[in-house]
Structure formats: structure tokens, C-alpha cells
Chains A and B, each alone.
Chain A
């Protein structure tokens, strides 16, 4: 089995199953199966756990480039799309739980929340921004968009920042948990910034390389599977 096949038939299915574990855990808890329980307020628990899982997958997605560069595992890029799509999936579930189970489909409250509650505004913005990325995640869209694909997908930095901010702002007083996400995100973005700086060519040479991605986190369509 070559590397491509190993990823296709072993690693990707394993990651796929692992990525569904949080969902399975929440479903077992929601129905009280096998001794799992979501506590006295299952709706809030579902809502918060799905939101945090979405953030976890965003962080994992952003960790792919640093890890493949630092650990010398270039093929890790083959897992990135799936991780990103799971971030989107859990964000959609998070929003659906909020709308259906928490607000009980009260669209008036939803509208008021989005307009009046800054933390919900930014969370909703992050969700909307994820939509074009999910829609353009196919190989066909990558080919069609060419260089613009990468430019579009840099939105993931904005999305991750909005997502972490959404969590931070929503917490009543104990910000330790969202601060962990702030630190992780800062490390992931800081790494890219440092690497881009280190790789910045000498002033005179720059125009020649202007069209080359310099951030070191690029995903050429050809690099994907």
C-alpha cells in the first residue's frame, strides 16, 4: 500500500469514526443510554459540547500545517479537509440545538439575539463564513477557483478568531477555559506569522516571488488528494 492508499483506506476512515465519537457520546447522553447522562440541563450541555467540539476541530484543522511542517509529515494535509468539514458539521449542530432545543424555534428571539447580543452576532457570523468554505471544499471547486481557492480559505483564520471570541464573551465569569482556546489559537497563528517572516525573501528579490504563497500554510490543489 502506498501512502495515498494508506490514507484513503486506513487513516481517513479512522479519523472519520473518531470524529463522530463526540456526537455519539452526546446522543447516548441525550437518551440516557449505557449510563451516559447530560445532567440536569441536557439542552445547555448539548449546546455547549457541540460548540466546543466545533472549536476543537477548527483548532485541529489549523494544527495540520504546523504539524506536517514541524514533524515532517507532508501527507497530513490529506486529513485537513475532513477536519474542517467536521468543524462545520459540529457548528451546524451547535446552531441547530440553540435554535430548536434552546430557543424552541422562537425566530423573534433568534433575530433579536443575533442583532442585540454581540457574542451571538459573532458566533453567527463565524457560522455563515464557514458556509462558503464547506461548499468549495470539493476537488472540483478547488480546480475551478484556482488561486482564489486559497485566498477564500484564509477565511478560516477569521472564523477561528470569531469562534474563540464567541466562546470567551459568552462565559459569565470564569474565563479559564476560553483562555485555553485563545492561547492555542495564538500559538497556531503565531507560528504562521513567524514562519512567514522567516521565509520573507530579501527586499530586492521580492517582486519575483510575489505570486508565490509565503505563509507556508498553503494548500495547492495539487497537494490534495
Chain B
């Protein structure tokens, strides 16, 4: 399979000098006693163990460098650790015990039970894929994830003919996820995919970032990445997987059904009721060169648009 990507103008690419000067600036900040946020993340990058993986060259974002580690691991929506963007990087490393980890598998499948993470990963070949990441809040990143196709995991559980959807549930434990003490959302966080979406080769089970074990604030130790959907669909710190006959009742959809649909495909033509989705701002891009048009299905239309043939995407947002 070839991944075709939309043309990106050379002017959109961060020149290496800018990229490097940002790094130099960061180093300068560190020397001068930067905020704990920056310092913590910098030391964290090396704190995570290396993974054995291969780079999958089919999945790159043409002409673009991935975001820096400290952007991907320092700017997070993970309400289980607070609603500020820098709360997860502050609290997740402190509170979440992502090892040991187990996942309960149940519902409409033949192989059920509680599995250690190591058992789930056994036999899976890890690969690095660089994907665009588009948040429903109209900001975006380019991220080098390490993981394996979700389909490789699903087949092992032998879903039955009744399995029409896969439901993912984040860990529920307020002692590890202090944000769950506030009823911002209906905990635990639940997300879901239609079976064909879950089996799609782009849908990734992620265990790593930048070649190393995934930082807690990015959803360690096991998270989903569905690159053509808004970020909130990609369930983090997954503790439970269920195969269901009915459409899962997902967290954001329950919280605000008129604002967050079950599908949540990235779509520049369907605005959020309160803000436009036509454009997005790339985190880390130079001043005045960050805003860019949002691509249908986040640039993955060639591969996934066919999943939604005959579906009114305005109604099923």
C-alpha cells in the first residue's frame, strides 16, 4: 500500500536553522533555569526506556519534521490529570503506575480475560509511523508513534459475528488519575470505533514515542491512535477492551452530544458549533506560519474515505 500525501508548500517546512535555533533557545532556557515544565520534559525524554522497532517508511508526513518531544509530551489533553495543557506532564509521571499493566478483554469475542501488557505485546512487531495528529480544538502536531496495527491485536481475541464495535476504556483510579476526582467527564473515559475502522491498517495501538516507551502523559502504556479522527477518539491508558453489538456511549459524546459526535472524523467542512474546523494551528511552527488548512480526514482521505460511503458526514460528525 502506498500512502499518498497532499502537497506541502516548501514555505510550510520549518527550516532546519529555525528548528535548531529553537533547540538552542531551549538549551539556553535550561541553562538559565527554565520553568520546571521544560526541564522535567527534557530529562524525561531519556528517562524512558528504548524500544526495539523498525521505521515504516510508508507513513511519513511529507516535508515536515515531527514535533519536538517536549511539545508532544508537554502539551496534552488528558483530563484524568487536570484540564490544563501542562497538567498531564506535571501529574501523570508522578501518579500513574503504567507498569505493571493489564487489560481486560471482553464482550462479543471468543478469547476473553485479563491479559498482562507483556502478553498482549508478545508476537507484535513494533514499527514507527509518523502521523498527523489533529485535536478537535483546532491545533495539530506531527508525531512519531511506535506501535502496531490494532487489527493484529483484535484478530487474536476472535471477535464473533455480533461484534460490530470495539469499545476502549481508560483506567479508572482516582489515586493514580487525580483529575478523576473532578466530575469534568463521566469517568471512566470510554471511546469506540466501528469494527471496520478498528481493523483499518492506519489504526494503531501505540506503546512508544520517539523510539522510547510512551510517556505517561501521552497515554502510557497502551493507547489508540486513529489519525483521521480528532484526538479525543484515540483512547489513552487503555485498561479494558470490549467488543459490542451496539455503538459505544463515548465520553465526549455523552458530555456534549451536539458538539462531539461518535465518528469525529477530521472534517474542515463541518465546524464545531463554537469554532471553525476549516484551519488549524501547528504547534511549534514559527510565528505567523502556524495556521494551515485542515485536510479532509486529516490528510488520510485516500485511505479511509471509502469507509464512509453513503454516510452523511454532516449528520454523523
Which residues of A are interface residues toward B (Cβ below 8 A)? 32, 34-37, 39-41, 43-44, 100-104, 106, 109, 112-113, 116-119, 169-170, 172-174
Closest to B68 in A: A40
Q: By the criterion CB–CB under 8 Å, are B274 and A119 in contact?
A: yes
Q: Which residues of A have CB within 8 Å of B271?
A: 116
Complex Cα distance, B251 from A172, in Å, reads: 14
Q: By the criterion CB–CB under 8 Å, are A40 and B70 in contact?
A: yes
Complex Cα distance, B173 from A83, in Å, reads: 46
Those 6 A-B pairs whose CB atoms lie nearest each other, nearest first:
A40-B75, A174-B83, A40-B71, A35-B33, A37-B35, A104-B291
Complex Cα distance, B275 from A169, in Å, reads: 11
Q: Which residues of B have CB within 8 Å of A172?
A: 137
State how many angstroms separate the Cβ of A109 from the closest Cβ of chain B: 7
Find A117's partner among B28, B83, B276 (CB 8 Å cutoff): B276
Q: By the criterion CB–CB under 8 Å, are A109 and B279 in contact?
A: yes
A35-B29, A41-B139, A172-B137 known; A116 vs B276 contact (CB < 8 Å): yes
Q: Can you list 11 pairs linking A and B with CB atoms under 8 Å apart?
A: A32-B25, A35-B29, A35-B34, A39-B74, A41-B281, A41-B283, A101-B287, A116-B276, A118-B274, A119-B274, A170-B274
Q: Which residues of B have CB within 8 Å of A35?
A: 29, 32-35
Q: Which residues of A have CB within 8 Å of B83?
A: 173-174
Q: Which residues of B have CB within 8 Å of A109?
A: 276, 278-279
Q: By the criterion CB–CB under 8 Å, are B85 and A41 in contact?
A: yes
Q: By the criterion CB–CB under 8 Å, are A37 and B29 in contact?
A: yes
A102-B281, A117-B276 known; A37 vs B290 contact (CB < 8 Å): no
Q: By the criterion CB–CB under 8 Å, are B85 and A104 in contact?
A: no
Q: Which residues of B have CB within 8 Å of A34?
A: 32
B255 interface residue (CB < 8 Å to A): yes
Q: By the criterion CB–CB under 8 Å, are B290 and A43 in contact?
A: yes
Q: By the criterion CB–CB under 8 Å, are A103 and B35 in contact?
A: no
A32-B29, A104-B290 known; A113 vs B85 contact (CB < 8 Å): no
Residue total for B at the interface (Cβ-Cβ under 8 A):
38
Interface of B is mostly: loop
Chain B residues numbered 165-192 whose CB sits less than 8 Å from any CB in chain A: 182, 184-185
Q: By the criterion CB–CB under 8 Å, are A37 and B37 in contact?
A: yes
B79 interface residue (CB < 8 Å to A): yes
Chain B residues numbered 251-293 whose CB sits less than 8 Å from any CB in chain A: 255-256, 271, 274-276, 278-279, 281, 283-284, 287-291
Q: Which residues of A have CB within 8 Å of B281?
A: 41, 43, 102
Complex Cα distance, B35 from A32, in Å, reads: 10
Find B184's partner among A40, A113, A118, A174 (CB 8 Å cutoff): A174
B86 interface residue (CB < 8 Å to A): yes
Which residues of B are interface residues toward A (Cβ below 8 A)? 25, 28-29, 32-35, 37-38, 70-71, 74-75, 79, 83, 85-86, 137, 139, 182, 184-185, 255-256, 271, 274-276, 278-279, 281, 283-284, 287-291
Complex Cα distance, B287 from A102, in Å, reads: 9
Complex Cα distance, B256 from A172, in Å, reads: 10
Please give 6 more A-B residue pairs, beta carbons under 8 A apart, in addition to A32-B29, A41-B283.
A37-B29, A102-B281, A109-B278, A109-B279, A112-B276, A173-B184
Complex Cα distance, B70 from A109, in Å, reads: 30
Q: By the criterion CB–CB under 8 Å, are B85 and A36 in contact?
A: no
Q: By the criterion CB–CB under 8 Å, are B288 and A101 in contact?
A: yes
Find A40's partner among B74, B79, B279, B291 (CB 8 Å cutoff): B74
Q: Which residues of B have CB within 8 Å of A103?
A: 291
Complex Cα distance, B38 from A155, in Å, reads: 43
Q: Which residues of A have CB within 8 Å of B275?
A: 113, 117
Q: By the criterion CB–CB under 8 Å, are B37 and A39 in contact?
A: yes
Complex Cα distance, B289 from A170, in Å, reads: 24
State how many angstroms separate the Cβ of A44 from the closest Cβ of chain B: 8
Find B274's partner among A32, A102, A112, A117 (CB 8 Å cutoff): A117
State how many angstroms separate the Cβ of B109 from the closest Cβ of chain A: 32
Q: By the criterion CB–CB under 8 Å, are A39 and B185 in contact?
A: no
State how many angstroms separate the Cβ of A177 from the closest Cβ of chain B: 9
State how many angstroms separate the Cβ of B44 from the closest Cβ of chain A: 14
Complex Cα distance, B276 from A101, in Å, reads: 17
State how many angstroms separate the Cβ of A178 from the closest Cβ of chain B: 12
Q: Which residues of A have CB within 8 Å of B71?
A: 40
State how many angstroms separate the Cβ of A26 from the closest Cβ of chain B: 14
Q: By the criterion CB–CB under 8 Å, are A37 and B291 in contact?
A: no
Q: Which of A40, A43, A118, A170 gathers the greatest number of chain B CB atoms within 10 Å?
A: A40
Q: By the criterion CB–CB under 8 Å, are A173 and B28 in contact?
A: no
Q: Which residues of B have CB within 8 Å of A100?
A: 288
Q: By the criterion CB–CB under 8 Å, are A39 and B276 in contact?
A: no
Q: Which residues of B have CB within 8 Å of A102?
A: 281, 291
A32-B25, A41-B75, A43-B281 known; A173 vs B185 contact (CB < 8 Å): yes
Complex Cα distance, B271 from A159, in Å, reads: 28
Q: Which residues of A have CB within 8 Å of B74?
A: 39-40
Closest to A174 in B: B83
Complex Cα distance, B290 from A103, in Å, reads: 9
Complex Cα distance, B38 from A100, in Å, reads: 26
